[in-house]
Chain A
Amino acid sequence: MLFLQGAPDYGFHLLALVMGWTVTILVGAFALAIIFKMVKGDINLMYLIAGVDGDASLSRFQFLIFTFVIALGLFLIILSQNPVPAFPATIPGGILALLGISGGSYVTSKAVDANASKPTVVVPQTVVQPSGQQTTVVMPQSD
């Protein structure tokens, strides 16, 4: 009855506060550990934007850039809300289209790479000699 009358529920408030601090500290600790391992070199980022051939890939690079830009933009927008930080009510279609173009380009590029780097199939051809010995001739086959 007390709750329905609008009186503050101190037990619930305390629980929310404890949970909030726990989650904030846990997420912060995980993120700090990951960033520390990146700096130390335990998490190797050398091939972060590399393609299948080991060279840097532009499609991965642009995907990374746009991800960072949208993430930082979203963070700034959440912080700038008054009176309390909040997630934006709507995400405009332009932003979704931008992410779609970027992600689609990355996936398409990966598909092209996968098709282009198919190894040449080598089929051994066996020739039976009259003496009964077998000689295997390996001939490269073009697609």
Chain B
Amino acid sequence: MKTLMMFTQYEMGILMTALVAVVAFQMLSGRIKTAGLLNDKSVNGSGGVSPARVQLLLFTMAFSFYIVAQVADKIAAGKPGEFPDIDVKWLALLGGSHSIFLGSKGLSMLLPQSKSGEGD
């Protein structure tokens, strides 16, 4: 039974790492399309970089590192077996960032249409 558990651990570890590595490599090599990730996609938009998207990307990266660090910290501190408690402030920050992104997207998609519709 011990051999089976050891084999399963290694198998799952290798498979998950391989999956993440394949997706990351394909993103970096361009096989997964990442063009336009930060572009303004509103109807009358310039198509340039959107600040709302940039801030969401930065918050996403920061939050991901925060969670990985918390998990590693908990395991290193000898308290394994549970997920770390996330500070409410961090959650509020992430929620705010998503709200800004969605608000900006909703406004940019809806406002130009209603403006153009006024003249018709």
Residues of A within 8 A of B (CB-CB), count:
71
B102 with A108: CB separation less than 8 A: yes
Residues of B within 8 A of A (CB-CB), count:
63
B39-51 to A contact mask, C-beta < 8 Å, 1/0: 1010100000000
B15 with A28: CB separation less than 8 A: yes
* Residue on A nearest B18 in the bound complex, by CB: A35
Chain A 10-31 residues near chain B, CB threshold 8 A: 13, 16-17, 20-21, 24, 27-28, 31
A63-94 to B contact mask, C-beta < 8 Å, 1/0: 01110111111111101111011101111101
**Which residues of A have CB within 8 Å of B63?**
66, 98
B34 with A56: CB separation less than 8 A: yes
A24 with B38: CB separation less than 8 A: no
> Which secondary structure dominates where chain B touches chain A?
helix
Interchain CA distance A73-B59 in the complex, whole Å: 19
Select which of A74, A84, A95 is within 8 A of B86 by beta carbon.
A95
* Residue on A nearest B79 in the bound complex, by CB: A80
B1-21 to A contact mask, C-beta < 8 Å, 1/0: 100110111011101101110
Q: Name 6 extra pairs, CB < 8 A, besides A61-B37, A85-B9.
A: A35-B22, A46-B32, A46-B33, A55-B37, A80-B80, A94-B86
- 16 residue pairs of the A-B complex, CB under 8 angstroms, read A35-B22, A41-B31, A46-B31, A55-B39, A56-B35, A58-B53, A61-B37, A62-B56, A68-B20, A68-B23, A71-B16, A73-B68, A92-B84, A92-B86, A142-B117, A143-B113
